[in-house]
Structure formats: C-alpha cells, structure tokens
Chains A and B, each alone.
Chain A
Amino acid sequence: MQWLFAAFAVVWFALFLYLFSLDVKLNAVAKEIDGLKAKLARGKD
C-alpha cells in the first residue's frame, strides 16, 4: 500500500509543482504588463 501512496504522492507533487511554477510566472508577467502599461500611460501625457 505504501508503494501506491508514494507513487500517488509523486504525481500530485509534480502536478502541484508545475501548476505553482506556472502561477508564479503568470503573476510575474501580469505584474510586468501592469508596470509597462502604467509607464506607457505616463509617457503619453
């Protein structure tokens, strides 16, 4: 049984790790876009 749970845990862990890394990257890019947009708006004044 513990083998099964080990494998199971690995799958979930990998999935979470991947989703987490995507989320971090998405947030970073979103932030970058906001910053750039603000800069663009300021530049137009």
Chain B
Amino acid sequence: MARDRCGVLLVGLTLVSMIASLYMTFLWAPTERTMGDVQRIFYFHVPSAWVAFFAFLLVFVFSLAYLVRRNKRWDNISAASAEIGVLFCTLVLITGPIWAKPAWGVWWTWDARLTLTLVLWLIYVAYLMLRHYMPDPERRATFSAVLGVVGFIDVPLVYFSIRWWRTQHPQPVMSGGESSGLEPPMLATLLVCLGTFTLLFFALLRIRLRLQRLREEADEIQDRLEQTA
C-alpha cells in the first residue's frame, strides 16, 4: 500500500512539474536574441542528455552491485535503466539535429558532445542487443553486468579522444555554444526542466520495473503449475 502511494506521489509530482516546465519553456523563458525560439529546444535537449547519462551511470553502479552481490534485483534495475537511457539518448540525437539545422544550417556536426552521445547510443544499444540474444537468464545478467561496467569505464576515454580529435580536425566554429550567455531566467527554466526529466526518469523506471516484476510472477506461477502437473 505504501508502495502504491509512493508511486502515485511520484507520477503526480512528475505531472505537476511537467506543466511547470512547459509553461516556463514556452511562455516564461525569454527568447534568445541570436537563435530565436529554436533555442527553446535546449530546455528538453539538455535534460534528455542528462537523463541518458544518469541512466548509464545507474547501469554501471547496479552492474557492479550485481557482480559483487549476485542479486537479481540489481540486474533488473540495470536492464530497465539501460532501456530508458537509450530512449533519452535517442531523443538527444533527434532533437540535436533539429536544433542544429535552423541554428547553424547543418543537421549534424561531429562536435565532441554530439559524437560522444552517438557512441554512447551505440554502446548501450549493443548492450540491449546482448541481453536480447542471451537465452540463459543467469549468464545474461552476468555478461550484461560486465558490459555495463566496461561500457561506462569507456565513456571518459571516448570523450577525451573525440575532444582531442576535434581540435586536430577543426570544423567551422559554431557561434553561440550551448551554454554561452545563459540569462538567469533561462538557467531557472533549465533547472526546472532538469528536475522534471529526472522525475520522469524515475517514474518510467518504476513502470519498467513493475513490468519485470509481473513477468517474474508469471514465470513463478507457471513453475508452480508445472510442478503440480
């Protein structure tokens, strides 16, 4: 019962802060001078990126926990978190070009952050594929935990290599970088949106975990059925 109330509270809070974020993003925040309204994409592009990174961090933490403790719950959380992380990572990769095209005239630039996001997307899509193609649940948990650890340790290395690579292969400099000259109301809007997306992440995670719990329950009943038969 307490669990249910907690869930309702989480969803309610998410909805309220969603409305607040929508208001702030579209009506309250001032229009950026050089880019115009398009800059408002920023308010859900950046929080999506934050949620994706946060989700992959959780995958790493719970993968480590699984390797040490071998508790199936940790594996479930890793799986759910990776899936939602990939969802938000995809959103970053879609909203990025939609922003880049009107603002800079190109769909894609191999800038460090965008490229890192793309590589991360590839790593965690591969993670989900590994899970999908592993028939044995126990091996699946162990292997994906190892990959969750290896993949995350790779992140800073990918980042530094891409950043250094960018400095050696200069492309036309994009005017108005993502965080240049952020006015206080803009910052406030961004912070509220970050909060909203984080809440949204946890709400989705709860639903995803409930799905897994029900799945296990179904398997358990099936097991009992087979035993009595």
Contact = CB atoms under 8 A, between A and B. Distances in A.
A33 B98 contact: no
B41 interface: yes
Given A4-B37, A32-B218, A10 B91 contact: yes
Nearest to B222: A36
B211 A22 contact: yes
Contacts of B222: 36
A18 B217 CA distance: 22
Interface residues on A, range: 20 to 34
B214 A40 contact: no
Contact of A4 (B40, B48, B91): B40
B102 A3 contact: yes
Interface of B: 36-38, 40-41, 44-45, 48, 87, 90-91, 94-95, 98-99, 101-102, 200, 204, 207-208, 210-211, 214-215, 217-218, 221-222, 224-225, 228-229
Given A10-B91, A33-B218, 4 more contacts: A3-B41, A4-B38, A10-B98, A11-B44
3 closest residue pairs by CB, A with B: A36-B221, A7-B98, A29-B214
